[in-house]
Structure 1
């Protein structure tokens, strides 16, 4: 029995395996034969099929789709094995009517070759992808329309069903397992930009782009070179690796850009989730360059004229930048501009508003150097201004959207020749209300604290401001800012003002507020009131003037004031000096630029107790001030003298003081009495 079983079992195995061998044998032969047939077909088809016959049909189809002339002037070649490839030469795509250039895009030659059989396993092996002599012309017509717009007929996008949407491949599902490219390049390309309205043309020529080590698992080396209007431009670096699931993981990059023999910029960082929710994180470093020299190399005049033509001649920047489609941040930013070093951080989001926060610190800056030249300011002021259209108005809608929160700190600042230190400003805005507070600074041995509010929530804006000054030396401030020497002393001040409107006349008509100016231990320079009040002749400059510059010392000068509808009123400005007391009442109308004031001096009898025993009594003549800011008028208040029962001066002195007296004396009176007000910055600008 065992032998039978073994024999039968052996015989059974032979009977079962013998047909299987035959099946495997003939299956292998069939597959091999099929492969040979396919390969033969791939080799033979290009020999018997003339692809040139399809070129007219291809040209017609592209022309219909784009609405532009399309032609392939050279041969169209096709290969299938071992490399599937297509090549052509002399491709031309035309411009639509109405443009200066006839050709939109031309390509001298194009050649791409991909290994065929590995495609079955999603293995992309590219032997060659080369575009030679591409020429692209981007032209903007005089009516602002670009030749890159409106290709063919516009079609409404088809609505997709929920099933179709679900079946769409995700961005991270690239149908490629591996990728290798031996040669990938653009050679001798040209891109031209033409602006018909501006009459300009810029050309990027000799454009060469070479990509090495193109794959999914290695960084791609990038080398780009070109000439922009004959000036060199280059970029080198790497990008990647892309990874097996492109668009999902981090994509690193490290690029160095050199342009125009002026700009050198390096950018290093990464992009994450580029296909779904792109985010980036990069560091940038812009080496010092001269914006003036950069534009001058293009024979383009510098767009900004500055008081100092040497500024904006050196710019450098560096920092790190992170962001996404919803937010962008700049951290550790540093900008070097001429002699100033500026550090900053910026966060921006909700770009449709936007929401913006920032912090800026400046070591020192002279803003006067960056202002327009004085000649241009004077020319602009002399030009007649167009009367605003009352119906047009200003659209403040865009100013109601931003949400802002920021600070500015400047260690040393020069503005309008004033020298300021430790300036600190905080700015916030929301819903059209801009708060600029606090504003703090130190200047001229004193301090200033202020705040301002601008409200554009309504069509007519309004603004208010508060100011407090402590211990500021007024004379060096006035000499620096307005080059006038008419007042000395230490200033303490507080004031608040408010106005409505966005046009100068409206602002002046609605201006209101109040405040007080206090000057201590100072002097009114340019006029000797102590000598003037002793007699009419001296009061109005009819006596001989001393050689040195006259001045009136005071221990205290207090000027309280109120403002209503553009009229500044003081009910009791007082000045106390060792010899006299001075009281000023009246108003200055900012709308009509007129003066209506009265100066009443009161003489102290002696200076006993101050080292002087001489009797100092004399006639104190009140002074009336009228006229305009640019042409003030002065005259003695004779009615006030009579009303107060003061002792009249001698007839000849009074005659010289009254209008109609000697003309030379009148001119002397006018010149001397104007000294004080001429020093004040009241003239209309």
Structure 2
């Protein structure tokens, strides 16, 4: 019995000795260097690129099967500036041997040190990474009875344990010879901790992108016993340039068809202006206020699939403004979009470009036909678009005009874009409107309806244009339609009708009462008052129609306690010509205005002609004299004073309305 035991221990001792010898001696005896040419050949065969293994191969066998390689180089094709596509200074992996028998992978160490990836693009647009690898050669199919069926529904790895997984001191170089750009991402470090199936995997990534820091930290997982077959939790925080921090918290489900995700996204306060400055870039827009775009934050929930995305509980901070929003996007190739935004208020003047330096009224060179010609607009994306967008804003300021309680809805389907409704409160009144743009044809067609109610015109025009034109409560009911997008075509095809009404106001810049009181004042022969002229009225009505760019009015009238004014005529918007006749008429004595003569029914018609940018005004003297028939004739001297030359009359009547014209958009030209 004792002899048997001795033999058993002897056999065990020999086995242990053999294992020790194999572990210690074999790596020293085996010449692995002779396998380097074979390894290089197989890699070159698989990639189609030159491959060089310059350093030593250092294997280990038990209990950790491992290998350490150094100085690896995978080349670029000929014709590229950089010799290597990929290079690695050292690579080491150690895997425990015995657990492999039970489909368990235990990795003690997986380290890649100083990898370099060069992405080079030639001037002809070809990249060095293109054409990498060859299709694997087809092998003869085995008889079905010799094929080993793979187990169905079973993941090939039962368990995964990784002690150390790291990529250190990496570098990525992007070279675009066509664009003349060269970008570098260096100091790339990636460390994964607790790399397994049943624990959250720690992620720590850092790099310098063009010398700007980028960091990513957090956890991913657990992956589950069957990775890719169960939802995966994410909790990541990215920090860019030490300025921008983005947090992701949620789950992705790669097992769903299509894959699903449900994430909370939180972008902490950051300054876009400082980020652009750190990157050495100019802001895309120069703003009137240099202090804007300094405080932005976003938070939202993102849910959906690669084909359909839903954004909910969105919150936006933009400087002093706050907004909530939600959105849906489906059929992304079309796309099909739904969007809701509720904004407390914003001053858009702060974000608009600053006023241009120099004389804004300076003449500009006329546009030549060649300069105005452009490629036709492609309306294909708008024809495919399905949209339902709603916007609400508590307060809005633009071009110094202030508005409140803005509500807009825009919808689009089958090439028809609708604006319904449009509601705005402004200057003690409100605006309501609708609009339709049809882009189904080559040239779009547009129709709109606009109603104004009790809008105070004076403050609105003063804020919007910094001019004084007209005062009073403004109401309007306007329908317009036109075709095309070019200004010339819009003017030629413009049609519609409407009515403008002003009550209890004044026309600023012209004193019609003074001009028609007598001929001398009408033509500016008397001394002008020092204060700005104005024509007060109880009501001003302007009904109009537009046909093919021809504006007509047959009953524009102004009503005041002292006078009535009737204007009729037309304006060719395409030809930019005017043809109007203005007939004022007194309805009572005007003793209070310096005229002791009892006058009633005195008419001094004014003819308005010329162009929109250079209108001319002249009195209709024949009509005026006709109105004087039946009245006591003045003596010769008085008649001379009343009847200046036609040139003086024309000159002074034009000066009398100069202040009014300067207030119009074309008045400075």
Q: Same fold (TM over 0.5)?
A: yes
Moved more, 418-427 or 629-638: 629-638
- C-alpha distance 243-684 of structure 1, shift in aligned 2 (>3 A): farther
Tell me the distance in 1 between the aligned counterparts of 2:247 and 2:466. Answer: 48
User: Which of 242, 247, 255 is equivalent to 2:236?
Assistant: 255
Moved more, 190-199 or 69-78: 190-199
Verify the 8 A CA contact 1:84 1:113 in the aligned structure 2.
yes
CA shift, 1:33, in A, is: 10
DSSP 3-state at the match of 2:564: strand
**389 and 668 in structure 1: CA distance in 2 versus 1, 3 angstrom threshold:** closer
How far 1:54 moved relative to its partner? Answer: 2.7
Q: What SS class does the counterpart of residue 652 from structure 1 fall into?
A: helix
CA distance in 2: counterparts of 1:246 and 1:586, whole angstroms: 80
Out of 207, 212, 221, the residue aligned to residue 226 of structure 1 is 207
* Per-residue deviation, 1:409: 0.4
Question: 1:128 aligned to 2:109?
Answer: yes
Asked if 2 retains the 8 angstrom alpha-carbon contact of 1:470 and 1:493, the reply is yes
Partner of 1:445: 428
Q: What residue is the counterpart of 2:384 in the other structure?
A: 401
Distance 2:297 2:390 in 1: 22
How far off its partner does 1:195 sit?
A: 3.4
1:624 positional shift: 0.6
Post-superposition offset of 1:147 = 3.0
Match runs of 1:237-276 below 5 Å: 237-274=218-255
Report the Cα offset of residue 208 of structure 1: 1.3
Is 1:518 aligned with 2:506?
A: no
- How many angstroms apart in 2 are the aligned matches of 1:678 and 1:157? 84
Give the conservation status (yes or no) of the 8 Å contact 1:636–1:657. Answer: no
RMSD over equivalenced CA pairs, Å: 3.5
**Counterpart in the other structure of 2:55:** 74
**Aligned mates of 1:111, 1:528 — CA distance in 2:** 94
Q: Does 647-656 or 412-421 show the bigger shift? A: 647-656
Q: Contact 1:270/1:280 (CA < 8 Å) preserved in 2?
A: yes
Q: What aligned pairs does 1:41-190 form with structure 2 within 5 A after superposition?
A: 46-47=27-28, 49-152=30-133, 173-190=154-171
Q: Output one character per residue of 1:269-312: Cα deviation in whole Å (capped at 9) or x when no partner.
A: 11123575321111121111111111111222222222223221
Which residue pairs with 1:462 in the alignment?
445
Q: Which deviations, in whole Å up to 9, do the C-alpha atoms of 1:177-219 show, x marking residues without a partner?
A: 1110011111111122333344333322211111111111111
Instruction: Identify which of 641, 656, 662 aligns with 2:644.
Output: 656
How many angstroms apart in 1 are the aligned matches of 2:149 and 2:268? 49
2:96·2:108 contact (CA, 8 Å) conserved in 1? yes
Q: Which residue does the alignment assign to 2:654?
A: 670
Bigger CA drift: 55-64 or 345-354? 55-64
Q: What corresponds to 1:10 in structure 2?
A: none
3-state DSSP of counterpart to 2:459? helix
Q: Is contact 2:619–2:650 with CA below 8 Å preserved after alignment?
A: no
Structure 1 residues 634-679: Cα deviation after superposition (integer angstroms, max 9, x where no partner): 11123434566756986434652512x4xxx765442223333332
Report the CA distance shift for 1:389/1:519 in structure 2 as closer, same or farther (over 3 A).
closer
Correspondences of 1:374-523 after superposition (within 5 Å): 374-375=355-356, 382=364, 384=367, 387=370, 392-523=375-506
CA separation in 1, counterparts of 2:240 and 2:618?
71
Give 3-state SS (helix, strand or coil) of 1:537's partner: helix
1:320 deviates by 1.2
The equivalent residue for 2:535 is: 552
Q: Counterparts of 1:477 and 1:590 in 2: how far apart (Å)?
A: 25
> What do the CA deviations read for 1:203-238 (whole angstroms, capped 9, x no partner)?
222111111111111111111222222232222111
**Which has the higher mean CA deviation after the structures are superposed, 636-645 or 491-500?**
636-645
Give the 5 Å matches for 1:262-301.
262-274=243-255, 277-301=258-282
Q: Deviations over 1:48-99 (max 9, x none)?
A: 5433223223323433443433212112333333222222111112223444
CA distance in 2, matches of 1:398, 1:30: 81
C-alpha separation in 2, matches of 1:657 and 1:43: 125
Taking the aligned partners of 2:540 and 2:527, their CA distance within structure 1 comes to 28
Aligned residues: 651
Partner of 1:630: 613
Shift of 1:264: 1.4
1:680 and 2:664 are equivalent in the alignment: yes
Match in the other structure for 1:568: 551
Query: 2: distance between equivalents of 1:245 and 1:684?
Result: 76
Q: Residues 603 and 88 from structure 1, CA distance in 2 versus in 1: closer, same or farther, beyond 3 angstroms?
A: same
Q: Is the 8 A contact 1:240 1:253 kept in 2?
A: yes
5 Å-filtered alignment, 1:602-621, equals: 602-606=585-589, 615-617=598-600, 619-621=602-604
The structure-2 alpha-carbon separation of the partners of 1:119 and 1:527, relative to structure 1 and needing over 3 Å to count, comes to same
Unaligned 5+ runs, structure 1? 1-21
For 2:67 and 2:438, how far apart are their aligned partners in 1?
Answer: 66
1:352 positional shift: 0.6
Quick one: distance in 1 between partners of 2:549 and 2:189? 67
Is the deviation greater in 392-401 or in 508-517? 392-401
Q: Secondary structure at the match of 2:447?
A: strand
**Distance in 2 between residues matched to 1:431 and 1:641, nearest whole Å:** 60
Selected match of 1:355 from 336, 357, 372: 336
More displaced 10-residue stretch of structure 1: 40-49 or 53-62: 40-49
Residues in 1 aligned to 2:525 and 2:175: alpha-carbon distance in whole angstroms:
74
Q: Relative to structure 2, which stretch is displaced further, 574-583 or 393-402?
A: 393-402
Residue aligned with 1:209, SS: strand
Q: Assess if the C-alpha contact under 8 Å between 2:562 and 2:589 holds in 1.
A: yes
Contact 1:535 1:618 in 2 (8 A): no
Given the alignment of the two structures, is residue 217 of structure 1 paired with residue 210 of structure 2, yes or no?
A: no
The CA distance in 2 between the partners of 1:35 and 1:456, in whole Å, is 85
**Cα 1:167–1:363 shift into 2, 3 Å:** farther
> Helix, strand or coil: the match of 1:133?
strand
Higher alpha-carbon deviation: 492-501 or 52-61: 52-61
Distance in 2, matches of 1:379 and 1:252, equals: 62
Which deviates more, 517-526 or 377-386?
377-386
Measure how far apart 1:168 and its partner are.
8.0
SS of residue in 1 equivalent to 2:644: helix
State TM-score, norm by structure 2.
0.89
The answer to whether the 8 Å contact 1:270/1:282 transfers is: yes
